[in-house]
């Protein structure tokens, strides 16, 4: 019996370790069962929108245009070129709106990148220089009436000459 003593000790320790591991496994399964969430039904679209708003997120619909960083960089560089043309033209006494839009077409598309924290006065002046709006005061008054002054969203926005002031405001406040 003395010869098998180490064998018996090894078997005993192995059985005790196995029993401890089995007890630990059962304890974890019971704890998981207590804290697991019951099965939920899928969320509706309105519930998803509500939870996204609570988290400060914006949901995009299928029709929304999403830009890659490369596209944004290209559009920003184009806008900077237009801005530099307008600034040099203004220094020569020309109207910036004539340079900002090379074509005389009233439906030409223009892109403006709105920086975070831009106020309505600055934005209205930019839009006036580009020829998107004619009357700065009328635009600012409508922004005040629509309570949109604090709702200006940063990002790349597209405008056309001759748009209504309401459409311009809708674009500006859309995330």
Which stretches within 36-130 are classed as H helix? 45-54, 69-91, 96-100, 120-130
Q: Does the structure show a pLDDT above 90 at 39? A: no
Tens of pLDDT along 4-29?
888 889 999 999 999 999 999 988 88
Tens of pLDDT along 45-75?
888 888 888 888 878 777 777 778 888 888 8
Determine if the pTM surpasses 0.85: no
Tens of pLDDT along 77-106?
877 776 555 444 443 334 444 434 444 455
Q: Does the structure show a pLDDT above 90 at 161? A: no
Q: What is the CATH number of domain 61-173?
A: 3.30.1490.480
* Residue pair 152/114 in contact by the 8 Å Cβ criterion: yes
Cβ neighbours of residue 95 closer than 8 Å, sequence gap 6 or more: 89
Share of the chain above pLDDT 70, in %: 80
Q: Give the start-to-end residue ranges of the domains of the chain.
A: 1-37, 61-173
């Amino acid at each position: 019996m003395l010869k098998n003593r180490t064998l018996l000790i090894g078997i005993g320790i192995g059985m005790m370790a196995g029993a401890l591991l089995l007890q630990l496994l059962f304890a974890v399964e019971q704890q998981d069962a207590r804290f697991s969430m019951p099965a939920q039904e899928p969320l509706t679209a309105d519930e998803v929108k509500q939870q996204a708003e609570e988290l400060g997120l914006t949901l995009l619909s299928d029709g929304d245009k999403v830009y890659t960083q490369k596209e944004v960089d290209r559009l920003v560089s184009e806008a900077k070129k237009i801005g530099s043309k307008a600034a040099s033209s203004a220094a020569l006494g020309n109207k910036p709106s004539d340079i900002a839009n090379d074509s005389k077409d009233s439906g030409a598309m223009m892109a403006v990148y709105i920086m975070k924290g831009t106020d309505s006065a600055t934005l209205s002046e930019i839009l006036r220089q580009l020829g998107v709006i004619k009357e700065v005061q009328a635009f600012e008054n409508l922004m005040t009436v629509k309570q949109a002054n604090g709702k200006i969203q940063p990002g790349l926005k597209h405008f056309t000459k001759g748009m209504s002031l309401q459409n311009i405001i809708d674009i500006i406040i859309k995330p």
